[in-house]
Amino acid sequence: EWWRVVGCFLYFGPLGLHSLIQGYLFFNYCGGLEREVFRGRRADYVMVLLFAGVLLCLANAAADLLQLLGPSLTVANVYIWSYRHSSTRVSLFQLTFYAPYLPWVMMGMSVLMGQSFWGELAGIAVGQLCFFLEFVYPRMRGKRYLQAPEFLQRLIPN
């Protein structure tokens, strides 16, 4: 039942406004990351997603605070996108702000909709770690920890 591994990250909760927004943001910002930030490095993006997924599963196993992993992975992707586009102004429900505030606005929106903030907070923490390991640390030390292994690069063409 391999589909359970992927399915837990693609379920955003019962059908409603919150789950529709989460689904839209997930596919919108995943596509943006793949097309813009990870252009020509699709295997590296899959490696970042795998790393984020493993971290979220470990966080859930340790604290048991996350009911759904889809929103957490969405916020992690949004965090990476927003910090790569830090000077971009985004709009969400008539609010206009700079992109790095988007994950925090998403967390506030979830709280206003009666959801727990732990999923978004976990996504922000995982997104920060992925952003650091993929974009900041390689500039500081010249070593990339989230670079896809050779077999994954052969398996996933650009």
CA separation (Å) from 98 to 87, 133, 151? 6, 23, 38
The verdict on pTM exceeding 0.85 is yes
Q: Does 69 have pLDDT greater than 90?
A: no
CA 95: distance to chain centroid? 21
Measure the CA–CA gap between 133 and 104, rounded to whole angstroms: 21
pLDDT digits (tens, 9 = 90+) for 1-49: 777 777 878 878 788 887 888 888 888 888 889 999 899 899 999 999 9
Instruction: Give residue 123's region: left, alpha or beta (phi > 0; psi -120 to 50).
Output: alpha
pLDDT digits (tens, 9 = 90+) for 129-144: 999 999 999 999 888 8
Measure the CA–CA gap between 13 and 74, rounded to whole angstroms: 13
